[in-house]
Amino acid sequence: MQTIKPINLSSNKTNTKEKLTSAEMGKLWATYTGNSMAKCVLNYYLQHVEDEDIKTLLENALKLCEEFMKVSKEIFEKENFPIPIGFSKEDVNLGAPRLFEDQFYVHYLKYAAKAGMSIYNVGLPLVYRKDVVEFFTYCMNSTMALMEQIKEILMNKGFIIKPPLIPVPDKAEFVHQDFLNGFFGHVRPLHALEIAHFYDNIENNVTSKALIMAFAQVAVNGRHDIGMIYSKSFMKISLFVEEAAKTMIEKGWMEQPPKAVDRKNLTAN
| Residue 15 domain-assigned (yes or no) | no
Do residue 48 and residue 2 come from a single domain? yes
| pLDDT, position 159 | 96
The answer to whether residue 83 scores a pLDDT higher than 90 is: yes
The mean pLDDT value for 88-113 works out to: 94
Do residue 204 and residue 109 come from a single domain? no
Contact 215, 227 (CB under 8 A): yes
Least confident of 101-105, 119-123, 230-234: 230-234
Do residue 2 and residue 101 come from a single domain? yes
Do residue 24 and residue 126 come from a single domain? yes
Do residue 148 and residue 67 come from a single domain? yes
| Residue 85 domain-assigned (yes or no) | yes
pLDDT digits (tens, 9 = 90+) for 21-61: 999 999 999 999 999 999 999 999 999 999 999 999 999 99
pLDDT digits (tens, 9 = 90+) for 164-182: 998 888 888 776 666 566 6
What is the amino acid identity at position 253? Answer: W
The mean pLDDT value for 69-82 works out to: 97
| Residue 74 domain-assigned (yes or no) | yes
Do residue 90 and residue 218 come from a single domain? no
The answer to whether residue 240 scores a pLDDT higher than 70 is: no
* Confidence band of 81 (pLDDT split at 50, 70, 90): very high
* Confidence band of 259 (pLDDT split at 50, 70, 90): low
| Residue 122 domain-assigned (yes or no) | yes
The mean pLDDT value for 69-88 works out to: 96
| Residue 266 domain-assigned (yes or no) | no
Do residue 147 and residue 212 come from a single domain? no
* Phi (first) and psi of residue 171, to 5 degrees: -160, 165
Do residue 153 and residue 203 come from a single domain? no
The answer to whether residue 228 scores a pLDDT higher than 90 is: no
Least confident of 64-73, 95-104, 207-216: 207-216
Do residue 149 and residue 70 come from a single domain? yes
CA nearest to 214, candidates 233, 230, 236: 230
Better-scored residue on pLDDT, 121 or 268: 121
| Residue 134 domain-assigned (yes or no) | yes
- The count of structural domains within the chain is 2
Choose one of 117, 141, 159: the last residue of a domain: 159
- CATH number of the domain enclosing 55: 1.20.1260.10
How far is residue 72's CA from residue 63's CA, in Å, rounded to a whole number?
A: 14
How far is residue 138's CA from residue 116's CA, in Å, rounded to a whole number?
A: 12
What range does the domain containing 139 cover? 1-7+20-159
| pLDDT, position 45 | 97
Q: What's this model's pTM, rounded to 2 decimal places? A: 0.80
| Residue 26 domain-assigned (yes or no) | yes
Whole-angstrom Cα Rg for the chain:
22
Q: What percent of the chain has pLDDT over 70?
A: 74
pLDDT digits (tens, 9 = 90+) for 152-167: 999 999 999 999 998 8
| pLDDT, position 115 | 95
* Confidence band of 12 (pLDDT split at 50, 70, 90): low
Contact 254, 248 (CB under 8 A): yes
CA dist 132 to 57, 68, 128, 158, 259, Å? Answer: 27, 12, 7, 38, 19
Do residue 55 and residue 153 come from a single domain? yes
Do residue 211 and residue 113 come from a single domain? no
Do residue 85 and residue 204 come from a single domain? no
Contact 100, 109 (CB under 8 A): no
How far is residue 38's CA from residue 86's CA, in Å, rounded to a whole number?
A: 10
The per-residue pLDDT of the chain, averaged, comes to: 84
**C-alpha atoms less than 13 angstroms from C-alpha of 204 in its C-beta half-sphere:** 13
CA nearest to 87, candidates 39, 42, 120, 25: 39
| Residue 268 domain-assigned (yes or no) | no
Q: How many helices (H) and strands (E) does the chain have?
A: 8, 0
